[in-house]
Amino acid sequence: MMKIDILSLFPEMFDGFLNTSIIKRAIDSSLVEVVIHDFREYADNKHKKVDDYPYGGGQGMVLMCQPIIDCLKDIVTKESLVILMSPQGKTLEQSYSQKLSLEKHLVIICGHYEGFDERIRDYVDVELSIGDYVLTGGELASMVVCDSVIRLLDGAIKDISHEDDSFSAGLLEYPQYTRPYEYDGNSVPDVLMSGHHENIRKWRLKQSLLKTYHKRPDLLKKKDLSQEELKILQEIQKND
């Protein structure tokens, strides 16, 4: 079972997240244990203060190192991977979520205010960002990380469900259809009604390549294309 410890000043933000959908089922099935720690409780001052003005001057407040580091010392083990949610971190990608899903223990630190005391970084293994924008705090970002990881745990969802996800194969996902067959003059592609599995596979592969080529061509530069994929892509480029 994986364990995830999250350090936050606002534990109540996780109530809905942990009690809904796939995350709740994974917790109920003992695939993962998620514990939220209010690191304010580790503050060693009378008023449980966790932030202060930065040395040298500047705008805003900075999170003090003492409460967070003491909390880390209380929960981190040799099996822990400590993650700091930070706009300075590496951008989360599906491949990294897959790597994180193999860890036994994740510890995620959520920030607030204008930043962290730099000494906190001495206790961190990796800094992680979910994109080039700034959030009020790290809680929402940590939920994104948890969701992307937990759904990959064995038994959380059917393997085939996430194997076909966008980015899992380095391509965007092919179009999906369900009932009714025709709606508002728009019908389901005939190949999906044919029952011919090989033709359906080829159609889906081509559609994935088409979507990726038009929407995220940068992904194609990173992907090691098979001979079949390369041939289809060349046809797409020729007809574009």
Residues belonging to the active site: 87, 114, 151, 165
Report how many helices (DSSP H) and strands (DSSP E) the chain contains, helices first. 9, 9
- Judged on CB neighbours under 10 Å (0-12, 13-18, 19+), 72 is buried
184: left (phi over 0), alpha (psi -120 to 50) or beta: left
Nearest to 102 by CA among 144, 153, 142, 145: 153
Q: Which residues contact 27 (CB under 8 A, 6 or more apart)?
A: 18, 33, 34
Q: Which residues contact 167 (CB under 8 A, 6 or more apart)?
A: 93, 94, 95, 219
| CA–CA separation, 187 and 180 (whole Å) | 8
For the chain, helix, strand, coil in percent to 5 are: 45, 20, 40
